[in-house]
Amino acid sequence: MNQETVKQRVVNKMGLESSPATILIVGLGVTGVSVARFLKNIGVNFSLIDSRMQPLNFSQIKEIFTDYDIYTGGFPDSKFIGVTHLFVSPGVSLREPCIAQCLARGAKLLSDIDLFAYCTDAPVIAITGSNGKSTVTTMVEVMAQSAGKKVAAGGNLGVPALDLLADEIELYILELSSFQLERMTALKPQVAVVLNVTSDHMDRYSDIEAYAKVKSKIYDHARTCVVNIDDRRVLAMVASEQKQLTFSVAKMADFSVREESHTQWLVYGNKAVIARSKILLVGEHNTSNALAAMALATTVGLPIESIVSGLMHYQGLPHRLQIVSTAHEVIWVNDSKATNPSSCIAALMAFDEKVILIAGGDCKGADLTELAAIIKQHVRVVILFGRDAELIEDALQSTVPIYNSETLEGAVLVAKELAIAGETVLLSPACASFDQFKDYQERGNIFAQTVRRIAA
């Protein structure tokens, strides 16, 4: 699709021909800059704003957008007056007063995903959920590559959606967060899935039902809905008239699990597709992820041989139950991507023996009740660090021995003193990382570096 065709599609869809437009991009993070670069390339004018005085890479951003108005250091009301089209980055809450008032005055809310949808006719797989999004996205990507497809994967994962656009791409796979879903309207995926819904981002939503309602938007225009029937909130999202494929680790479904001759199989209909032991990722949550990936891949026509090959060769992503050392017969596992209680629970359930758990950070207002019960059953010792360590300790009510450290590095040193041969030390924080780190990757890297240093 040439640039002029892209521009014409965007202009038509945004309604820029019918009346003068004032476009404001809020947030100069990865997504905001991606939108700005895209609009600049097709010759559409806009302004940019960020609440930070010095956003990351600000000097480079100013060089790229020298001919555009950029304001930093806050969200003054004056910058939102007269705005007709508003692109709000996922990291910025729509409840910001100036944004809410701008929308109330009639500004049209748009997203990078909307622009992406305007500009491609290739099939799109759309994936969301509280946990497992990145794993399933990259798992399906490996399946598609095994089938010889020209595939591009991104969105909330890695590369922004707009940066994926290319004429040669035959299949797009988008990971979408709740923040992206709440501000998009145009995407019509060939197939979509909500993997699960558990308590997360309660600092941005009034309750879990409001959060689930946003997640359900991914199904609104999907041709086929892949549904996890083990999750009651997901099951309630899809209307009976919508085309569905179901998956379950515990019940009869289109994609399910069954045991034959002491071997657990992943099954499509009545056909055993692959033995669970052939999949490298551990834990029941990854069985569920594999079933979801199979359903998505089948819907877009990937051959069963490529699906099986993808499952057998997929090694997982960093910071997700990643073994970083086995020195001195202690297994150190980096699960820094566990940024909410449910993902920590899934990690703990993957181990047969009790572990030493390192947890802590920003709880984001999450309910810790279920996590506390699971810790009591699956953890020998807890070592807490980070801003909400005290909240977690209060939730645990002294059901297991608890140690505290101001830093993650200190927590690793405490674990080294406590661990015995054959034991597992698991970093699975159950919290966001932003109280002490740039992101969960930095947290996981520091954990791995500290472990390797003390193990040397």
Tokens of 374: 């699971």
Is 213 catalytic? The answer is no
233 Cβ neighbours under 8 A, 6+ residues apart: 197, 208, 212
Is 337 catalytic? The answer is no
The Cα diameter of the chain in Å comes to: 72
Q: Residue 220, exposed/middle/buried by CB under 10 A (0-12, 13-18, 19+)?
A: middle
Tokens of 444: 């996981």
The sheet with strand 69-72 has its strands ordered as 69-72, 47-50, 23-26, 85-88, 108-110
Choose the catalytic residue: 85, 131, 156, 340: 156
Coil, helix or strand at residue 135: helix
Sequence-separated contacts (24+) of 351-354 with Cβ below 8 Å? 351/378, 351/424, 351/426, 353/423, 353/424, 354/378, 354/379, 354/380
Beta 355-359 vs 331-334: how paired, if at all? Answer: unpaired
Chain mean position to CA 210: 18
Within 10 A of 226 (CB to CB), how many other CB atoms are there? Answer: 31
Choose the catalytic residue: 201, 285, 364, 378: 201
Choose the catalytic residue: 133, 215, 337, 378: 133
Give the DSSP per-residue string, 67-88: TSEEEES---GGGTTT--EEEE
Is 313 catalytic? The answer is no
Active-site amino acid positions: 133, 156, 201
